[in-house]
Structure 1
Amino acid sequence: MTNFISKEVDKLIKKYKTRDPFEMAKDMKINICYHDLGNLKGYYFYQSKFRYIVINNNIQEELLPVICAHELGHDRFHQNYAKNDAIREFSLFDMTSKPEREANFFASELLIPDSTIMELFYGDYTFSSVAAELNVPIELVDFKSQILKAKGYNISPLCISKGNFLKK
């Protein structure tokens, strides 16, 4: 699964020449909207050939690219679930749901280049210091480390990823 996701992310980065999920969404003609969603961080839906990423306008700024990248993952892999009914992120980054797990891996692969994270790990950074350096949740670093392990890197993932870490 992670190999397929990595290949898809690589294709998108080459095609759109960016890792920025907002630029990529714009180039892919996906509409990004911001609304007050209460406790909901964001969602993706597809209706009448139009694709939308809706992001809560009350979330922390550093989470915006994480949410957008996660929803792009849904666009790439789960459009059939989202046709005329939104994929709502009531438990964003839920590792028990296959679609959520795939979107999490997609987001980590898009936002964190292999070379960047491995350089930090070789510099004796911890998972938490890597997350702080990259300004991403530690769980995203954990997802990325699981991908790196599958690619053959000598790394031990934390496997701490929980479904409710963004609810804090």
Structure 2
Amino acid sequence: MINFILKKVDKLIKIHKTRNPFEIAESMNITVKYDDLGSLKGFYFYQSRFRYIVINENIDDRLKPIICAHELGHDRLHQSFAKSGAIKEFSFFDMSAKPEREANLFMAELLVTDDDILNLTKLGYNHDFIARELGVPIEVVDFKGQILRKKGFKIKDFGVAEGDFLKGY
């Protein structure tokens, strides 16, 4: 499945000439809305041929691209689920659910380039430093590390990705 996700992300980047999930969503006619969602970070839904990504307006602005990219992953990978009802992340980034793991991998591949991680790890930096340098939670770095290992790179397993890592944000 990782290879399928990588191909989907690569195709999106080539078509839209950006890694910005908001620009991609707009180009694909996916409406991005903001609303007070309480503890819910965001969700994706499909209704009457219209697609929506809804992001909690009260979360830190640095997390909004991460959530948008994750929900964009649901659009590209799980649209058939969404046609039957909204895909909601009650525990955002719940690694126990296969669709959530796939959307997480999609998000990491879209937002973080291979070189972003490889160049910093070659210099000996740890996952905490890399995450701060890239401006993402360390779990995003871990998801990207999983992808890089699948691609054959010798990169340390950071082992920090937890299902509920955004609860603290």
TM-score of the superposed pair, with normalisation by structure 1: 0.98
Cα deviation digits, residues 5-44 of structure 1 (max 9, x gap)? 1111001100000000000000010000000000000000
**2:60 — aligned with what?**
60
Q: 2:8: which partner in 1?
A: 8
* Aligned-pair identity (%): 60
Q: C-alpha separation between the residues in 2 aligned to 1:43 and 1:22?
A: 14
- Residue 24 of structure 2 aligns to a residue in which SS? helix
Distance 2:157 2:17 in 1: 29
- For 1:166 and 1:141, the matched residues in 2 are separated by 14
**Structure 1 gap ranges (5+):** none
The answer to whether residue 50 in structure 2 is matched with residue 46 in structure 1 is no
Q: Which residue of 2 aligns with 1:137?
A: 137
Partner residue in 2 for 1:28: 28
Aligned length in residues: 168
User: Structure 1 residue 159: deviation in Å?
Assistant: 2.4
- Higher mean C-alpha displacement, 36-45 vs 82-91: 82-91
SS at structure 2 position matched to 1:44: strand
Deviation at 1:52, TM superposition (A): 0.1
Q: 2:99 is matched by which residue type in structure 1?
A: P
3-state SS of paired residue (1:54): strand
Q: How does 1:1-168 map onto structure 2 within 5 Å?
A: 1-168=1-168
Runs of 4+ in structure 1 off by over 6 angstroms are none
Aligned counterparts of 2:148 and 2:26: Cα–Cα separation in 1: 28
CA distance in 1, matches of 2:58, 2:5: 29
Code of the aligned partner of 1:25: A
SS in 2 for 1:31: strand
Deviation at 1:84, TM superposition (A): 4.7
**In 2, Cα distance between equivalents of 1:155 and 1:162:** 19
Q: Find the residue that maps to 2:93 and give its secondary structure.
A: coil
Amino acid at match of 2:43: Y
Instruction: State the Cα distance separating 1:163 from its structure 2 match.
Output: 1.1
Q: Please tell me the residue identity of whatever aligns with 2:146.
A: Q
Structure 1 counterpart of 2:28, one-letter code: M
SS in 1 for 2:44: strand
What is the RMSD of the two structures over their aligned residues, measured on CA atoms? 0.8
Q: Tell me, which stretches of 5 or more residues in structure 2 are unaligned?
A: none
